A and B are shown apart, each in its own frame.
Chain A
């Protein structure tokens, strides 16, 4: 089929309208002068000023970013190790339990993960704060990382590692000098996913955060419960903007790399 049928055009238009109109309204009304969010009273950026001056938001944002950075980094290391071990090792004692534990957090309701971790922290007497959120986020994010990295390792040519061994590398050198650079895009994608999941998480953070550390989603949630506010609209718009720029930049970079690789390959074949 060369051209889109009317049905397809209609379903795509309605579908994307459904996906995007709520966010567009949110963004547009973040520039609303009025305190009443549903009545347009002229253009203003004053709510952005309010957000930037709101210390509680800034503190929470700083906590959130630190939590996301550390948990994404630890999760990436652990998740990559787990994916590599699962891929390269044959049978070992406890393999089924291991793969089950890697898979389970992906489908576990967040309320259960949060509850169980909170009960653990209380049982071992660990004070709730940034550290406990990082531990909790690392645990569920590492499973996502390991899924992303495994899917790259499936298509990894094992003879590259054998070649490195053959040329004098120890298994660890082969991993760091050959495997890791090649799977780096997947590892970075895993990190980004872990980072976003951590930024985004409300439920698990609510269970594991203490009075000393509040993350941005917790802050947003508690004020949203009281209803819509233009300040939250402005804050949401900032977050949406950052994410959009990030995602678009990542996709442009990877697309450029793919097309450059394709062009190089095409040129190389003419040399023969």
Chain B
């Protein structure tokens, strides 16, 4: 029975995960062509061994060379990383106090507070991003409000800027930060802080010497959970960002759908994946270490 339980999902994943990947890798080494499919060479199995050899001899790293030469691409990678890092940091700044407040809240409130954090997570991602368009637009609520209280006289350009992208990422990924941080803070025994104060710590130094180190595993997990998907984000930059917002997910999308250059899109995907492998492996190690420590 266990054999069947392994074999069926295994086969599914090989066909629909591993093979597609091999195809992306292969096309990334092909050349763009105006044909259907829009790349060359295509594998001609009818030609037998010669066909296979001809096929392999035509594969090359041209597209990758192209990516390094055209500054659009490496700028997009750099800008994706920069946006992801900064918005991860901002999410931490917003999320930590919320998680901390939840962990210190009376026990009977906590399930309700948890619910309030989880609820947006179940609600459509697209709708949550969309909600900000109406707020950040030139005639949007935020500009109306700011003009009403008299801080500004002219509407600020907020939508279609990188600022809007930061806000969008912080907003949509906030639950991913709050939940792990809350989980590690909630486990903490409050008498530890009393002990620290009893031993001469001020409130502030008790926080730095006791709370922060104990919350760190949750903070690290939360940062990975925000950073990894943020790098490849597409919806937020395309709805909230402007023409100047360079993010690699958007570049890939446009390369594929607008320019129909599949080989370059595939090469973009391969490099994005190579960039993400480092944080993914680090994250997995961190999780494994935590599981070990949890025992």
Contacts and interface: CB of A to CB of B under 8 A. Distances in A.
B283 A171 contact: no
Contacts of A38: 134, 137, 139-141, 144
A240 B127 contact: yes
Nearest to B11: A78
Chain B contact residues (Cβ within 8 angstroms of A): what range? 35 or more
A23 B123 contact: yes
A103 B126 CA distance: 24
A29 B16 contact: no
Contacts of A244: 119, 123
Given A123-B23, A239-B127, A19 B120 contact: yes
A78 B15 CA distance: 14
Contact of A236 (B104, B131, B174, B231): B131
B266 A101 contact: no
Contacts, number: 235
Interface stretch (B50-58, B62-70, B94-102): B94-102
Interface in B59-113: 94-95, 97-98, 100-102, 104-106, 111, 113
B32 interface: no
Interface stretch (A6-14, A43-51, A263-271): A6-14
Interface of A: 1-2, 4-5, 7-9, 11-12, 15-16, 18-20, 22-23, 25-26, 29, 37-38, 78-79, 81-82, 84-85, 88-89, 92, 94, 98, 101-105, 107-112, 115-117, 119-120, 122-123, 135-136, 138-139, 142, 146, 171-172, 175, 196, 199-200, 202-203, 207, 217, 220-221, 224-225, 227-228, 232-233, 236, 239-240, 243-244, 246-248, 251, 255
Interface of B: 1-2, 4-6, 8-10, 12-14, 16-21, 23-24, 27, 37, 94-95, 97-98, 100-102, 104-106, 111, 113, 115-120, 122-128, 130-135, 137, 139-141, 144, 171, 174, 190, 228-229, 231-235, 238-239, 249, 252-253, 256, 262, 265-266, 269, 272-273, 276, 280, 283-284
